[in-house]
Structure 1
Amino acid sequence: MNSKLITLLFLLVSVNVFAQRSNSGWVNLYNGKDLSGWKLLGGKATYEAKGDEIIGTTVSNTPNSFLASEKEYGDFILEVELLAHPLMNSGIQFRSLSKSDYQNGRVHGYQMEIDPSARAWSGGVYDEGRRGWLYNLELNPAAKTAYKINDWNKYRIECIGNSIRTWVNGIPVSHLIDDMTAKGFIAMQVHAIPSSEPQGRQIRWRNIRIQTENLKPSAPADIFVVNMVTNDLSALEKKQGYRLLWDGKSTKGWTAANGSAFPAEGWQIQDGILSVQKDIPGEKAKGGDIVTEKEYSAYELKFDFKLTKGANSGLKYFVSNLGGSILGLEYQILDDENHPDAKLGIKGNRTQASLYDILPAQKIPYSLKKVGEWNQGMIRVYPDNKVEHWLNGIKVLEYQRGSADFMENISRSKFKAVQGFGTAAQGKILLQDHGDEVYFRSIKIKELN
């Protein structure tokens, strides 16, 4: 055998060994020939295997369609390339389920969004058939430009334990901590279309591959974390400076608003949830407002809350004793549909997430939850006195403390005669007892410089 042939054989063997090593741990989910290992769920959109691609096509008068893996996956790293029509919506389901005892088999579970629209939420995480948006790109606006319209995009999902993270074209998009579903199928969605929209638009997927063993998570990116696990602080949240303002198990760090000990009655701590109890008609109220022992100035405050029907409460900040009354700016917590206070005030400034009786919050559909569902509230107070109210991942109000507009709105409010209202340099944080049953959990704070 001559030396040239030996060299050629050596190179071929080396290339083959290198290819095997470079693909170590990856398993292809599409065989390049047919749709073996996949099944159609939901609607009647069409899917076909064509060369190295799976092609999904929209069909009129049918609900969301899903080409689902027959196998279920728990912890994994998934990569896929996709090219979607610029006017269609789609997504990749993961850890998803379809069971006869849940809405007649409706597909439900996590979805990594494909959104070529001007909204640009591609890579966000939506909970299909359950809770709706969990992580939208208003929380990470820098990632809105990651998706390329009319071009191939590379999607990556890392699901390891309660951690769910997504990337679009190498850009970190979402970081979600959630423990609702630990295992389920993977599916390629073709979204339902309205009757006014032409059918036949397509999305193409290729290079669909997964790792399930010896998983090595990517280094954490410094982006916003949505944490749905009760009173949990993820490693990244801790690194970013968050801490629990309520520890989830005791009254430590909190007192009655009047400065006495934490109320012996009227508030309940159970299973990691802090709840104010409903007053009994005809009996003396037992609880009362509670406040932090410490005062704060600039911070980001996250809190989960859940309303009962007709309930009214609030979270107040910059709280202090003003003229003998414990007062502060209030993030309104209210059942807008069933409490009369929603119809009072000016232009809706007593509705959910508003600055109570001063400025109204926007009513954005994605931010609204039904009574009995958990909401994620957030208040950002910047060192320059800019303040934001967020509700379920959407900024619904922004204002500047001390500005002419702010002071003018106070002058039209019930606080107009209170000297110094809303202008303190620092103050306590208060949870309101309004005599209605309301639940709180996962109260976290990050102080800002």
Structure 2
Amino acid sequence: MKLAVIGTGYVGLVSGVCFSELGNEVICVDNAKSKIELLNNGEVPIHEPDLKELIASNTAAGRLSFTTDLAAAVSASEIIIIAVGTPSLPDGKANLAYIEQAAEEIGRAINDYKVVVVKSTVPVGTNEKVADIIRNFAEASFDFASVPEFLREGTAVRDTMNPDRIIIGTASDRAAEMLTELHRPLTDQITITDVRSSEMIKYASNAFLATKISFINEIANICEKVGADVEEVAKGMGMDRRIGSSFLKAGIGYGGSCFPKDTQALIQIAGQMDYDFKLLKSVVEVNRDQRFNVIRKLDELLGDVAGRTIGIWGLAFKPETDDVRDAPAFEIIETLLERGAQVKAYDPIASNNFERTFNRSEVEYCSSAQEAAESADALCILTEWKEFINIPLSDIQKWLKTPNLIDGRNIYREEELEATPFAYYSIGRPKMNNGVKETNPILSF
């Protein structure tokens, strides 16, 4: 099939490349000329495993191309996929300016029957609004559909090629048939539903996963007070098929481009319908507070961070990505600087993105994990990169001025820490927290 994908961010670029890998002819469109030039030169603007290799092979095979000419791409394609950004506005609502602009340009370019697909995450009712905009300009017929994405950064290619399910929201049998044909090579778990339900499925899915993360973090905080191990608790919970083991890893909370934005947007959607989504508001509140556990434990270890040097390992919100959007590192480092600490930070690939976004010149960005740890009064692990996991604790001990270690991602095991001098803190594993005061009361009933 012939596809045009509008937008070359995570969703658009990965989707377009993967559809070309399936044998379709794909034109990826972006109005950022520098990004298109980069892609046409074989470079990739985002870090995503396997993506660069797939771009190279499918470009060479003539199935994949990149352009700023939206009109030409639309005219040459059967299916138009809108995958532009819908970032949060200050009030938490989704910013639909980019999707509305894309809809107008698509409408002006439609020359015969097309299926227009919204893959961007959008509030319920947006697809109908997009269709109305296109109708104002289109001289040919078209159908529209909502096909939300469920990929994860760092595993986006694998998730796209091996989806749990495909949701197609449309009132058109013709569009449903074409989109089913397009996705059938990926899975037979294809559900056809109405457009508004499809839009809601995306928000509901992300909100539920965010809820699982905040829930297990709250359980971790209780575990620290009662002497239980959150990893054992999560393992026991996950064995229940009704619960499942995914997204039950305690840490310093979620970040990235989806969960923070989508939870806030769903709260706003509910509010516009005069519904107070109390549960999801609590999920957001818990997540924001969870990252400050790092600060609280530093206070317990050091008494005062003023004048102390704090090493930071990890700036991306998760490993295998250079995305720093809403990463816990922002608020943690900001708080440390405000309280007079000196911060040395390192991330294998996200340092440049973080530095561009974080407008504080006081941070010392380091070129290696060793440099960030050397002579520091404490080391905080904020992203569970394999590079960090593979560094021997004996090396970290040599580098640090004082062996204080705050493990915000629970990357170390108890046997690794035995016979080491570390004052160690992890999340929800109080028996391992050597050097940090934890309550372990005798419970009375």
TM-score greater than 0.5 by the shorter chain: no
Taking structure 2 as the reference length, what is the TM-score of the superposition? 0.29
Taking structure 1 as the reference length, what is the TM-score of the superposition? 0.29
Indicate the structure with greater helix content: 2
Give the structure, 1 or 2, with the largest relative contact order (CA under 8 Å, sep 6 or more): 1
Indicate the structure with greater strand content: 1
